[in-house]
Amino acid sequence: MQLIFLGPPGAGKGTVATKVAVENGIPHISTGDIFRYNINNKTELGLKVKSILDSGELVPDTLTIDLVRDRLSQEDCARGFILDGFPRTIAQAEALEAFARILAVLDFAIPDEQIVERLSGRRVHKASGRTYHVVHDPPKVPGKDDVTGEELIVRSDDQVDSIRKRLSVYHEQTAPLKAFYQDKGLLTAVDATPSPDSVYRSIQQILRKAQA
């Protein structure tokens, strides 16, 4: 099952992808998570992309494409994968066609106002990437990770200026991918505004149909 989760920042792609990946025994590949892992570990890649992520701009296509090509060549992707946050430009989508076959593209639809509310309330466990929301999905103990009890943080790009920048980058460079995949008959829209459980159930139905 080779899936792309498309949609604006904060639409809930990562939240649902985590569950769908576990349920289907396939890896959840988030380019944002890979970049953040490298930033946290101060690798060469991390040092190169840190200021780009903080600003809300996109990492250059060639670098991102090489990274995903390499990740998809690994053995755990043989039965399928969920790409979350890739592709994000037409150049990335065109490059992907040369090294992966895609079963379905799910387009998470949500208005911009709701996105700002979701991202400003997001809290993250830095080491694992586990994500919470202060209102919609709070941790058992405020400010602490449910599993380790460690402090939760606010992502450095979840400041209002960076959120606005990411939204404008999304509308300009990523939204055109909807038409790209619609033309290929791969796109299905998902209403991303209800609760995470409800979004998850809609996606289960879509995936059952896509596999039938």
Question: Is there a catalytic annotation at residue 166?
Answer: yes
Q: Which of 36, 88, 118, 123 is catalytic?
A: 88
> Residue written as tokens 């799910």?
106
Phi, psi of 108 (to 5 degrees): -80, 110
- At closest approach, how far in Å is the CB of 212 from ligand AP5? 26
Helix (H, G, I), strand (E, B) or coil at 104: strand
- At closest approach, how far in Å is the CB of 131 from ligand AP5? 5
Closest to ligand AP5 by CB, 97 or 212: 97
Direct distance between the N- and C-terminal alpha carbons of the chain, in angstroms, rounded to an integer: 12
Number of neighbouring beta carbons within 10 Å of residue 159: 15
Q: Tokens representing 151?
A: 């402090």
The one-letter code for the residue type at 69 is R
Q: Tokens representing 12?
A: 């809930």
- At closest approach, how far in Å is the CB of 54 from ligand AP5? 9
Residues found near ligand AP5 in the complex (CB under 6 A): 7, 9-15, 30-32, 35, 52-53, 56-59, 64, 85-86, 88, 92, 118-119, 121-122, 131-133, 136-137, 157, 166, 195-196, 199
Question: Is there a catalytic annotation at residue 122?
Answer: yes
* Alpha-carbon span 20 to 199, nearest angstrom: 11
Question: Is there a catalytic annotation at residue 155?
Answer: yes
Question: Is there a catalytic annotation at residue 19?
Answer: no
- At closest approach, how far in Å is the CB of 32 from ligand AP5? 2
Question: Is there a catalytic annotation at residue 118?
Answer: no
The one-letter code for the residue type at 150 is E
Closest to ligand AP5 by CB, 62 or 73: 62
Q: Which residues participate in catalysis according to the annotation?
A: 13, 88, 122, 155, 166
